[in-house]
């Protein structure tokens, strides 16, 4: 793997050793603590190494000698494990199978099954998306939809399912373009750079302010997410509590000085890249008349095929036998013996030529207009303007029945030309717009051709005539000087106008062609071939990330964060307090913004960066237990929490690092531990001694988060759609707003519509207009980095869970499901309880629920089950 940093960190390490003791805990190098000694009773409780650290600390509580709480029953265990690893509850069948499994490794098998499930990535990706405030819209005033943001969401799901090692995950998201050029689809990972909000209004009216603020958000996001560092506190002054000078902060701003949020096109496979590159280079060779490429043996069959099929069409043009040619502006149109028409005499400002003629063809598929160079014209023409140019505003063709004065206007499919002046394409001659036209400047002094294909071939009845009208309304004498009209039967819609040199070559047999004619023909044929092949390739995918190819803007160290008080120019770098790593980057190409990102990725992913390893281990612990070993997962500074078990944190971080950084082994360490498998009930003495449960003498009891609740309801109702990936599902109707931001109506969604039952991670998250249902269950404000989900209980939450359309419609589906399974009411009630709570109802519950269902219906009872604390909390 490429390492964009060049430095000798070994020397730094030696210098750093002496003073580590005075460093803040999170900045010290990682240690690899030995497992603590335990007395024999406690030692017997150890299942995985983390247990030893936890038990050692628990043993210090004088009033509690029992170590961990007893292991939870299997139903509880599987529900906990399944919701934790996949975000979905187990089915009753899965619980029954696990309860009945006599194998010694019954639990381990469940762990492996769930870790291998694609549902795992869908669950754990959501944690990461929270952490980096990903959403599908800009936020702020102009809260527009980012139609390509979902590619990043799918990338994260995939990366989790592939168990991408953490250092690689860092490098992919910050600089996949630098590190993995051979894997173009990884560009989707760069969606990390575009995850946060975008203030379009400030970007346009206060761009300097915007640049600093937008980069501030990205610096904060990156350092919080990967290093749990509160670098943003050093924007106006040196960090008050942590060893972060403000120069470090601006060094990080300089890293992102070339990042500007926007759509990034990318190829979905390396094969596609290769193909596109191949045809583009052939195109370039054709334009450069590169004989070595064009006349190479491999292309000979392509050229000869073109000559016998498409090329033959070029000879099938039939000149129109002109009967009359007139100018509306007063020019003289003279028909020459070779069929060409020359415009002479007065040169009007504007003109319209009308040419009428006949053809022997029985039908026509296209018309050709050749504008011809001639010595009599200014600059050799083919236009009459002083510079030799012309402007064809509109092209019309009509068929006239024998003797008729008015004809039928022919419908055109498209127009092509051998050359288009920039901004003056031949398509303008068919656009019905009198303000646009075709031009050929600066390629004056040579002939050009334009072909107009009919929508469908038109039969020419005996005696009928063709009338062609050439409107030239641009003014300034931009008129055609000499031209010829032809028709063809060819229906081939791809018929390209063939340059005269190629046409001349085609009129000769191959052996009679001059070398330059042969080359011109090869170039022409291969150019068309390359264009056709390129058109057949799927277009590049896009991800909302960063606009490619931006040069880094200068970043200054600002005095008190004031853009009007710029100080020294900032050099790209990171924190100077990690002594094993350089605080500033030495880059071979400092003006490459990609190199800057790559250097930061290397810095973060480095084996000697203690923040990164501790950060991810702590996050994973947090999501398993509901609280991190350090309970402020985004802040390992002096304002943050102190780890409850610093040795355990280091042991896990070291273990992850030694193992290469894959997260699934870390999950195993944790979910296979005795600590994780405990019951949630602790003795009164333990609860009194450790009410916050920092020592984990019992299991925590999380409430389902918004996604878990919604997905669990779908699953229990039998509706869950496990389709993966793709554009987000909008659980709302949109209508135009006052400006860019539309109005969203979350109450207008039909919960039986396609996509309604997809997992919640696939919904469109509108940053500024969040889903009230998800919000009621503490789905966080996506303006903010959200390393943890809070808990709230309120009347409004209760109303949403009780009355929202989603819950009510799923209650109906749930009722219908059990009604189809079981014939009698008590049986249905029992089945519903089994499905939702994964147990049998007690006699009392059965009686109460049945009585209620009898009176108000089964759906009403299902609604009650969905609202129950037993459904909402995970033991």
Q: Which tokens belong to 819? A: 């009604």
Query: What b/e readout covers 813-828, taking b as 16+ CB neighbours within 10 angstroms?
Result: bbbebbeeeeeebeeb
Q: Which of 67, 365, 552, 643 binds another protein (CB under 8 A)?
A: 643
CB of 351 to another protein, least distance (A): 41
Q: With binding defined as CB under 8 A, does residue 78 bind another protein?
A: no
CB of 98 to another protein, least distance (A): 22
Q: ∠ CA(253), CA(631), CA(39), 5° rounding?
A: 135
Q: Inter-axis angle of helices 207-227 and 118-131, to 10 degrees?
A: 130
Q: Which stretch binds another protein (CB under 8 A): 12-20, 124-132, 271-279, 676-684?
A: 676-684
What residues numbered 225-264 form the site for another protein, per CB under 8 A?
230, 232-233, 241-242
**Residue 804: closest CA among 776, 832, 784:** 776
CB of 518 to another protein, least distance (A): 60
Q: Which tokens belong to 457? A: 């071939």
Q: With binding defined as CB under 8 A, does residue 784 bind another protein?
A: yes
Task: Reply yes or no: is the peptide bond before residue 442 cis, omega within 30 of 0.
Answer: yes
Q: Which of 298, 511, 692, 824 binds another protein (CB under 8 A)?
A: 692
Q: Which stretch binds another protein (CB under 8 A): 313-321, 442-450, 601-609, 628-636?
A: 628-636
**Facing residues of 735 across strands?**
743
Q: Which of 50, 67, 121, 139 binds another protein (CB under 8 A)?
A: 139
What residues numbered 798-827 form the site for another protein, per CB under 8 A?
798-800, 802-805, 808-809, 811-812
CB of 231 to another protein, least distance (A): 9
Q: Classify the phi-psi angles of 744: left when phi > 0, otherwise alpha if psi is within -120 to 50, otherwise beta.
A: beta
Looking at the Cβ atoms of 691 and 754, the one nearer to another protein is 691
Looking at the Cβ atoms of 561 and 718, the one nearer to another protein is 561
Contacting residues for 823 by C-beta, under 8 A, at least 6 apart: none
CB of 813 to another protein, least distance (A): 12
Handedness of CA 801, 805, 808, 811 (dihedral sign): negative
Q: Which tokens belong to 650? A: 């280091």
Q: Which stretch binds another protein (CB under 8 A): 206-214, 509-517, 667-675, 819-827?
A: 206-214
Looking at the Cβ atoms of 358 and 563, the one nearer to another protein is 563
What residues numbered 24-53 form the site for another protein, per CB under 8 A?
25
Q: Which stretch binds another protein (CB under 8 A): 213-221, 382-390, 462-470, 657-665?
A: 213-221
Contacting residues for 327 by C-beta, under 8 A, at least 6 apart: 333, 343, 348, 351, 352, 353
Q: ∠ CA(823), CA(826), CA(829), 5° rounding?
A: 95
Looking at the Cβ atoms of 106 and 848, the one nearer to another protein is 848
Q: With binding defined as CB under 8 A, does residue 767 bind another protein?
A: yes
Query: What b/e readout covers 130-168, taking b as 16+ CB neighbours within 10 angstroms?
Result: bbbbbbbbbbbebbbbbebbbbbbbbbbbbbbebbbbbb
What residues numbered 694-753 form the site for another protein, per CB under 8 A?
694-695, 700-703, 737-739, 741, 743, 747
If you search the block for the tokens 């009585």, which residue do you land on?
851
Rounded distance between C-alpha atoms, residue 312 and residue 820, angstroms: 69
Rounded distance between C-alpha atoms, residue 638 and residue 139, angstroms: 31
What residues numbered 553-612 form the site for another protein, per CB under 8 A?
563
**Facing residues of 71 across strands?**
678
Q: With binding defined as CB under 8 A, does residue 19 bind another protein?
A: no
E strand segments, 492-645 = 541-546, 556-558, 566-569
- # residues near another protein by CB under 8 A: 119
CB of 633 to another protein, least distance (A): 11
Rounded distance between C-alpha atoms, residue 704 and residue 837, angstroms: 13
Q: Which stretch binds another protein (CB under 8 A): 56-64, 111-119, 450-458, 576-584?
A: 56-64
What residues numbered 843-862 form the site for another protein, per CB under 8 A?
845, 848-849, 852, 855-857, 859-861
Q: Which stretch binds another protein (CB under 8 A): 160-168, 332-340, 587-595, 623-631?
A: 623-631
Q: With binding defined as CB under 8 A, does residue 21 bind another protein?
A: no
CB of 553 to another protein, least distance (A): 16
Rounded distance between C-alpha atoms, residue 358 and residue 505, angstroms: 28
Handedness of CA 845, 847, 849, 852 (dihedral sign): negative
Q: With binding defined as CB under 8 A, does residue 54 bind another protein?
A: no
346 alpha-carbon distance from chain centroid: 60
Looking at the Cβ atoms of 139 and 661, the one nearer to another protein is 139
Q: Which stretch binds another protein (CB under 8 A): 140-148, 282-290, 594-602, 755-763?
A: 140-148
Q: With binding defined as CB under 8 A, does residue 122 bind another protein?
A: no
Q: With binding defined as CB under 8 A, does residue 644 bind another protein?
A: yes
CB of 708 to another protein, least distance (A): 14
Q: With binding defined as CB under 8 A, does residue 85 bind another protein?
A: no
DSSP summary character for residue 288: T
Asked if residue 397 lies in contact with residue 465, where contact means CB atoms within 8 angstroms, the answer is no
């Amino acid at each position: 793997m490429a390492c964009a940093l060049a430095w000798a960190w070994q020397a730094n390490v030696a210098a750093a050793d002496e003073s580590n003791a005075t460093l803040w805990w999170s900045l010290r190098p990682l240690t690899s603590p030995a497992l603590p000694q335990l007395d024999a009773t406690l030692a017997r409780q150890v299942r995985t190494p983390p247990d030893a650290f936890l038990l050692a600390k628990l043993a210090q509580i004088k009033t509690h000698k029992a170590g961990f709480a007893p292991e939870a029953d299997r139903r509880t265990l599987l529900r906990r494990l399944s919701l934790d690893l996949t975000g979905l509850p187990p089915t009753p069948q899965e619980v029954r199978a696990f309860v009945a499994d006599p194998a010694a490794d019954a639990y381990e098998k469940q762990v492996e099954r769930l870790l291998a499930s694609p549902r795992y990535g869908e669950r754990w990706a959501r944690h990461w998306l929270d952490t980096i405030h990903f959403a599908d819209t800009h936020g702020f005033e102009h809260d527009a939809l980012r139609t390509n943001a979902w590619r990043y969401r799918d990338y994260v799901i995939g990366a989790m399912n592939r168990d991408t090692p953490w250092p690689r995950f860092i490098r992919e998201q910050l600089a996949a373009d630098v590190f993995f050029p051979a894997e173009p689809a990884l560009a989707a990972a760069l969606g990390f750079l575009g995850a946060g909000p975008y203030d379009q209004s400030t970007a346009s009216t206060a761009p300097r302010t915007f640049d600093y603020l937008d980069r501030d958000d990205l610096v904060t996001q990156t350092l919080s997410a990967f290093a749990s560092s509160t670098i943003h506190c050093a924007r106006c002054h040196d960090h008050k509590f942590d060893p972060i000078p403000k120069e470090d902060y601006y060094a990080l701003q300089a890293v992102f000085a070339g990042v500007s949020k926007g759509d990034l096109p990318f190829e979905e496979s390396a094969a596609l890249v290769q193909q596109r590159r191949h045809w583009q280079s052939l195109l370039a060779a054709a334009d450069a008349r590169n004989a070595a490429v064009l006349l190479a043996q491999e292309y000979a069959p392509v050229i000869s095929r073109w000559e016998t099929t498409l090329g033959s069409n070029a000879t099938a043009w039939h000149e129109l036998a002109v009967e009359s040619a007139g100018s509306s502006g007063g020019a003289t149109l003279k028909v020459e013996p070779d069929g060409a028409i020359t415009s002479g005499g007065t040169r009007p400002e504007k003109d319209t030529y009308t040419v009428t003629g006949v053809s022997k063809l029985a039908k026509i598929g296209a018309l050709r207009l050749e504008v011809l160079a001639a010595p009599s014209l200014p600059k050799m023409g083919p236009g009459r303007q002083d510079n030799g140019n012309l402007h064809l505003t509109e092209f019309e063709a009509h068929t006239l029945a024998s003797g008729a004065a008015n004809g039928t206007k022919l419908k055109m499919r498209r127009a092509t030309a051998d050359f288009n002046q920039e901004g003056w394409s031949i398509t303008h001659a068919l656009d019905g717009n009198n303000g646009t036209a075709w031009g050929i400047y600066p390629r004056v002094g040579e002939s050009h051709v334009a072909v107009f294909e009919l929508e469908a071939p038109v039969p020419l009845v005996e005696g009928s005539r063709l009338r062609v009208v050439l409107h030239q309304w641009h003014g300034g004498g931009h008129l055609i000087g000499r031209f010829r009209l032809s028709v063809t039967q060819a229906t081939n819609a791809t018929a390209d106008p063939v340059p005269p040199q190629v046409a001349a070559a085609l009129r000769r047999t191959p052996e009679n062609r001059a070398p330059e004619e042969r080359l011109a023909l090869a170039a022409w044929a291969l150019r068309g071939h390359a264009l056709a092949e390129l058109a057949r390739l799927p277009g590049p995918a896009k991800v909302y990330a960063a606009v490619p190819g931006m040069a880094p803007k200068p970043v200054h160290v600002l005095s008190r964060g004031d853009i009007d008080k710029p100080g020294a120019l900032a050099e790209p770098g990171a924190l100077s307090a990690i002594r094993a790593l350089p605080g500033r980057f030495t880059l071979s190409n400092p003006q490459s913004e990609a190199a800057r990102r790559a250097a930061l990725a290397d810095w973060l992913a480095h084996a000697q960066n203690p923040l990164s390893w501790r950060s991810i281990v702590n996050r994973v612990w947090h999501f398993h237990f509901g609280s991190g070993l350090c309970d402020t997962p985004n802040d390992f500074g002096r304002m943050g929490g102190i780890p409850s078990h610093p040795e355990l944190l280091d042991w896990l971080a070291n273990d992850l690092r030694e193992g290469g950084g894959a997260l699934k082994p870390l999950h195993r360490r944790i979910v296979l531990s005795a600590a994780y498998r405990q019951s949630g009930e602790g003795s009164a003495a333990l609860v009194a001694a450790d009410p916050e449960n920092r020592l984990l003498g019992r299991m925590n009891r999380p409430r389902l988060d918004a996604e878990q609740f919604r997905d669990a309801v779908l699953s229990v109702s039998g509706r869950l759609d496990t389709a993966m990936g793709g554009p987000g599902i909008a659980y709302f109707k949109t209508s135009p707003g006052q400006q860019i931001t539309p109005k969203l109506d979350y109450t207008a969604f039909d919960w039986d519509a396609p996509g309604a039952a997809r997992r919640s991670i696939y919904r469109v998250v509108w940053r500024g207009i969040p889903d009230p249902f998800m919000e009621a269950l503490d789905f966080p404000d996506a303006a903010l980095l959200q390393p943890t989900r809070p808990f709230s209980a309120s009347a409004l939450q209760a109303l949403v869970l009780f009355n929202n359309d989603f819950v009510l419609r799923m209650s109906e589906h749930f009722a219908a499901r059990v009604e189809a399974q079981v014939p009698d009411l008590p049986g249905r009630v029992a089945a519903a309880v089994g499905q939702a709570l994964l147990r049998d109802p007690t006699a009392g519950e059965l009686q109460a629920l049945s009585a209620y269902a009898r009176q108000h219906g089964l759906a009403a009872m299902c609604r009650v089950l969905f609202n129950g604390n037993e459904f909402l909390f995970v033991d």
